[in-house]
Structure 1
């Protein structure tokens, strides 16, 4: 058992629905075990500027249903330097912080891995990212809410596509991962998806448009923002118009609406379970690991294995997309 007395809590990187539910779980679990919690605003940048404050039960009242993060988030170039990290560590010590819990994704855990090793401070991470691209958990906090937001938007887009016999190319988030595009492509009945992991490119889309059913009154193509081989959604739309001038083709970029909104039940429960586990892991002496949920069981993965080691896309899922879009 580790003698943890004061946990520093922060969110970092892109915000994700469910982060507030995770903050609530961490604070209330720590207080249950008589451990103090120090909130850190704006992630690693807040560590450097000293934007720290004590948190209590009232600090996390009525936040479980809110999107975004009450602790704010920001990028920090200074934290990338040894000098910046030294300032951050000194500020943490001045507030009596002797352990950290960080909620975020790839960049958050990279920073935590370096920081924990340099200053021998125990750090546990929670996977808060809508991209669902971390190894060590079946789902990341925010992913379920994001895909439901996409589905709601695409359903509305299909209404107007049906009314005007249009082809819509819809870009969703996923700079390095096509998980959002893949799952929403199946759920929205998309005719085709373009994702970074599938190097089929425009040829596969052209083939589907050329040889697919001609009697369809609407067509939806889902494109992950990381699918840049063809120049992005607008360039894909231009090339489709050039190749198929008879199709009324439009492009829709969903953008940051995918990050916001009230978290779903699944994200709230995932955040709560992993938040509790993070505090208890620190008490047991864990450090440098991410808490995840695999097959409905709490699991721990070292930061170096969790960072951008997401598994390949299941070819059977691709097959389902192709089969059901006929």
Structure 2
């Protein structure tokens, strides 16, 4: 199999692979994305990556079958955990045969080892069944699956909160309470299941993430408090700009939602969701999207109760860590 660096001249090839990707059809159809704008958006992103100094992308050619593989350093996570972390992204290998996928991953692994990667993350669509096997073959350890759910904001039913709790905009003095809530109540995550991450640092992953998001214009927080003023839950939203031009659609994202264990089942989550919907609608979004872990059964049932539909699932793998080398 031939592997060479992706260049700007490969754009037609890249666009074709993106256009024919069978694992995005449900999302594109349900969210009514503009198919061509979506292809152009992802092609632009991958080509920008390919021109970066430390994020190569390769064209993998095996006969008349073609795939795309790339790697990116995860600077934020590397800094947080104190060692070099990379991710294998993008992965467009649906057109390759299983032995070719394994060979491509091994060769990318040689590059990662030469770069000193201590840990490598990879994701694959659940429907590309042989790819998860290939990732295991190169030393990947399964860390769980995330599901993408979405609904139209104008659809029914609408969530309704409880009058016993008030939802408001976040204030700076809420930060310690938000950190504590995230640390204690956000327990469904592939980070927490990654056997190659230091156990003592895992509880602080999400509090640190909240700190990075705090104060950003496009990352609004909403806080739920009880009658005594105690913070019992919060939501963190992602409100991207320029989506109409890039995707032909507007999609707000519920990036994070956490409710104190003592307040669960009392309408706090529904109230946060309702206010999140209202905020997104005021900003002109038509759809809302979120991700959660596949084994978060209660959470998925809660979202489906309010009209969310499952669009896709991704499997997460962690490679390396124990020996500090690609296996």
TM-score by length of structure 2 reads 0.26
TM-score by length of structure 1 reads 0.26
Give the number of the structure whose alpha-carbon radius of gyration is greater. Answer: 1
Task: Please identify which structure carries the higher strand content.
Answer: 2
